[in-house]
Structure 1
């Protein structure tokens, strides 16, 4: 039976590491100050942003393992499980952790917008690899939050801390955007695999039992979280993954119509539940109905 550390509050993790918190809802931990530490497999009830400078450990998160080397950031959200089960081994870590309870966001704009930071749902093998400059920015932000937490609490402190948290998240987003760009070659390889996956899906007639392919299906087959996959496709093509799938399907619709098949036959063949669904998607993407498209074909 796995021994899981339940982190309902930031203090649960701090107590485990022997770190004293200054705030009930926010914790900034400098791993160098609490090392050596024992591993823990954590069930999170809080948000966490973890980065280690250098460590030789395998961490399990969701369905993937991650070999932590130098300068990697992992973000977790309430309801997720991650880390490594305590096996009695002690490890020396340098790096930082920022944990914050959802309650600190109450009433702040970030309470509503935090769901837009899709990297909280990335898999562990989709972690952010920092450049030296990015690493220094993170360290500087952690030190500033820690310094603020050590000040006497006043009515503005929580607002200032939430401002810092938002800044950390925006830098995470910027650095991920940079990573998507620097991994363009890898991304173009994924695009080719995406195209090949769609082609095989229809050639193997999976649409007849599963319907039109979904982003989740494609991401799973390419061993990615749907969020990371969607963000990567958006960066690579300027379009959403779901739109990319729709465009692919519509191209197949046009090919079938051009070969003389009826709209009903095409809808059946390509996995649409009803011909109206095909017509609606076609009109939305092409600006005309399949019937109008067929009329045009017959006149050309």
Structure 2
């Protein structure tokens, strides 16, 4: 049974490392100042952004493992488990950690908007790999947040800290966008696998037991988190993964309608729960009903 440390507050992680916090809801840790440290497998109730500079460590995240390489950023959200179980080994690390409690964001726009940062739900093998310039930007931001934490608390400090955190998140998003762009070949390979997966789904009649294909199903089959998969497809095609699936399904609907099959038969064959669902999706995607489409085919 793995021993998991519960990180209910930022101070729980800081205390384990021997770091002293200056704020109850925000912690910035320079690993070089607290090393050597022992590993820990953590259950987070806080947000965390971690990056190490040099050390290669095998870490666990959820049910999977991955190689944590130099210059890699890992983002965790409340409810997630990550790290490496304490085996008594002490390791020297350089790099930084930023942890902040959800309570800090309560009542602020970021509290609602933080869900837009989908990288918190990426799997670790989908982590951000920074360039040297990106690394320097992150280090600079960590230093600025830490400098703010050294100042006496006043009525503006939390707002300033939240602004810094939002800046970090926006840079994370920019750097991920860059990573998606620089991995175009890899992304096109994913798109090809996505197409093959959708074709296989129907060739193997999976729809007869599972219904219409879903983003979750496709992401799982491609060993990706739904958020990362969705973001890759959006960056590659300009469309959402769910809409890409719908377009694939509608093309199959058109093919079957062209054979003269009834709407009821087509709906049943392609995995729709009810014929009305097919009609609604068809109208949304094409602007006409299946009946109107069939009628136009007959007039040709």
Normalised TM-score (structure 2)? 0.99
- 1:260 is displaced (CA, Å) by 1.6
- 1:176 is displaced (CA, Å) by 0.4
Alpha-carbon distance between aligned partners in 2 of 1:259 and 1:54, rounded to the nearest angstrom: 61
* Aligned residues of 1:6 and 1:43 also touching (Cα < 8 A): yes
- 1:69 is displaced (CA, Å) by 1.5
Deviations 1:122-149, CA, capped at 9 Å, x for gaps = 0010000000000000000000000000
Q: Which moved more, 1:51-60 or 1:142-151?
A: 51-60
Alpha-carbon distance between aligned partners in 1 of 2:140 and 2:69, rounded to the nearest angstrom: 21
- Which residue does the alignment assign to 1:295? 295
Q: List, as ranges, runs of 4+ consecutive aligned residues in structure 1 with deviation greater than 3 Å.
A: none
* Aligned residues of 1:31 and 1:93 also touching (Cα < 8 A): yes
- Which residue does the alignment assign to 1:153? 153
Normalised TM-score (structure 1)? 0.99
Alpha-carbon distance between aligned partners in 1 of 2:219 and 2:63, rounded to the nearest angstrom: 13
Alpha-carbon distance between aligned partners in 1 of 2:30 and 2:51, rounded to the nearest angstrom: 10
- 1:64 is displaced (CA, Å) by 2.1
Structure 2, unaligned runs of 5 or more: none
Alpha-carbon distance between aligned partners in 2 of 1:182 and 1:63, rounded to the nearest angstrom: 28
Instruction: Tell me the secondary structure at the aligned position of residue 60 of structure 1.
Output: strand
- 1:62 is displaced (CA, Å) by 1.1
- Which residue does the alignment assign to 2:246? 246
Instruction: Tell me the secondary structure at the aligned position of residue 216 of structure 1.
Output: helix
- 1:42 is displaced (CA, Å) by 0.2
- Which residue does the alignment assign to 1:189? 189
- Which residue does the alignment assign to 1:45? 45
Alpha-carbon distance between aligned partners in 2 of 1:135 and 1:185, rounded to the nearest angstrom: 24
Alpha-carbon distance between aligned partners in 1 of 2:66 and 2:157, rounded to the nearest angstrom: 36
Alpha-carbon distance between aligned partners in 2 of 1:74 and 1:148, rounded to the nearest angstrom: 23
Alpha-carbon distance between aligned partners in 2 of 1:42 and 1:158, rounded to the nearest angstrom: 26
Structure 1, unaligned runs of 5 or more: none
- Which residue does the alignment assign to 1:259? 259
Deviations 1:254-296, CA, capped at 9 Å, x for gaps = 0111112111111111011111110100000000000000111
- Which residue does the alignment assign to 2:4? 4
The size of the alignment, in residue pairs, is 300
- Which residue does the alignment assign to 1:117? 117
* Aligned residues of 1:63 and 1:123 also touching (Cα < 8 A): no
